[in-house]
Amino acid sequence: MDSGLPKKPYLHVRVSCPDPRPLEGTLNVLNPLYTHHSEEKGILSLVFPSDNVDWTLRRLSGMSAQFEILEAGLSSRLETSGYRLMLPGGISMVSPGPGITPGAGDIVLKQNLSFGTGHHPTTELSIRLLREAFTVADIKAVFDLGTGSGILALYAAKLGASRILAVDIDPRACKEALEAVRTNDIGHRVFVVQGSIEAARPGVFDLVLANLTIGTLRTLAREIPGILRNPGFAVISGFTTGQVDQILRYIGTTEVIKNINQEGWAAVLIRTTR
Ligand SMILES: C[S@@+](CC[C@H](N)C(=O)[O-])C[C@H]1O[C@@H](n2cnc3c(N)ncnc32)[C@H](O)[C@@H]1O
């Protein structure tokens, strides 16, 4: 099967599977980067590197269990059907599709190729903690580090942030995030720039959002307190439950306000001081 999918940092797949043991042989061959089985939900989450997506999908198709692609650029499920997500705070995010039309006040996020449809656990966790940050502090200026589709920046704008700088090293993500900003008519509050943490002026942001891989966080996390006011807040995700302490060490002096997890992924809301 030729998936036709563009190359992504990884492929995240959800397999309906009450008991993963019969799949062990296939999984040994597939060699996922990350595996988590939720007994309660009967769901096996698998993350693969992007370099052999077609081969991985062919192998997965050969399994008896049903699987669903959660993040791999455009999954066929998301391509053909729009969706509506209810975000905390009664805010609705709509990806238009047959029979699904955005209403007044909805966040509109067209289906695109960048990470951030709202379905990945790390995006969901970030959304929950982003909302929490607005309940514990007066958040005006936000830096969205690795904006992808722009989903967190759009939600921060909806929650009331007045200035949001959204950056991504991927030009395609920037193009799509910019389109999302225009679609939602918030170009006066959200600025999209191709780049990374160096785009941020020191000491000016109330909140940093960083849903990144552990490798990227290893390099960038220690710079986060420096771009925040003192004190400041950050929502960090993209790592597993076992990596929380490591992340906190990278960042330095912090107070953990909340640490949440889902399907083996974790996210923290922290208060930083310098
Ligand atoms: C996991 S996605 C998160 C997307 C979105 N913020 C979300 O929460 O769904 C990470 C994004 O960070 C971008 N990225 C990776 N390394 C980066 C870096 N060093 N600086 C800025 N962006 C980076 C990737 O291109 C990708 O779009």
> How far is 109 from 154, CA to CA, in rounded Å?
9
Give 152's DSSP letter. Answer: H
pLDDT(176) > 70:
yes
The minimum-distance atom of ligand 1 relative to the CA of 153 is: 6
SS (HEC) of 253-272: CEEEEEEEEECCEEEEEEEE
118 lines ligand 1 (CB under 6 A): no
Give the mutation target among 12, 114, 168 for probing the ligand 1 site: most ligand atoms within 8 A of CB: 168
Give the per-residue pLDDT at 102.
93
Going from the C-alpha of 33 to that of each of 8, 44, 133, the distances in angstroms are: 14, 13, 31
Comparing CA positions, the residue from 177, 182, 185, 210 lying closest to residue 196 is 210
Predicted confidence (pLDDT) per residue in 199-222, tens digit: 999 999 999 999 998 889 999 999
Comparing CA positions, the residue from 121, 2, 110, 18 lying closest to residue 71 is 121
**Identity of the residue numbered 13:** V
Radius of gyration of the chain (CA): 18
Average pLDDT for 131-140: 98
Give the mutation target among 7, 50, 211 for probing the ligand 1 site: most ligand atoms within 8 A of CB: 211
Average pLDDT for 11-29: 84
> How far is 228 from 274, CA to CA, in rounded Å?
9
The minimum-distance atom of ligand 1 relative to the CA of 168 is: 22
> How far is 248 from 253, CA to CA, in rounded Å?
8
Classify domain 10-74 at the CATH topology level.
Alpha-Beta Plaits (3.30.70)
pLDDT(122) > 70:
yes
Contacts of 132 (CB under 8 A, 6+ apart): 257, 258, 269
62 backbone dihedrals φ, ψ, rounded to 5°: -80, -10
Going from the C-alpha of 105 to that of each of 14, 180, 191, 200, 212, the distances in angstroms are: 31, 14, 20, 29, 29
Give the per-residue pLDDT at 71.
62
Structure-token match 């296939």, residue found: 26
Domains 10-74 and 115-272 share a fold: no
| Domain 115-272 CATH (choose: 2.60.120.260, 3.90.550.10, 3.40.50.150, 3.30.200.20) | 3.40.50.150
Give the per-residue pLDDT at 73.
45
| 193 membership: H or E segment, kind and range | strand 190-194
Neighbours of 26 (CB within 10 A): 14
Q: Is the peptide bond before 9 cis (omega within 30 degrees of 0)?
A: no
Average pLDDT for 156-173: 95
CA–centroid distance, residue 144 to ligand 1 (Å) = 9
How do the domains of the chain map onto residue ranges?
Answer: 10-74, 115-272
> How far is 262 from 124, CA to CA, in rounded Å?
9
Q: Coil, helix or strand for 213? A: coil
Of 34 and 76, more confident: 34
Strand partners, 209: 144, 235
Q: Coil, helix or strand for 103? A: coil
What is the end-to-end Cα distance of the chain in Å, rounded?
53
pTM: 0.78
> How far is 72 from 48, CA to CA, in rounded Å?
10
Of 96 and 270, more confident: 270
Average pLDDT for 21-45: 83
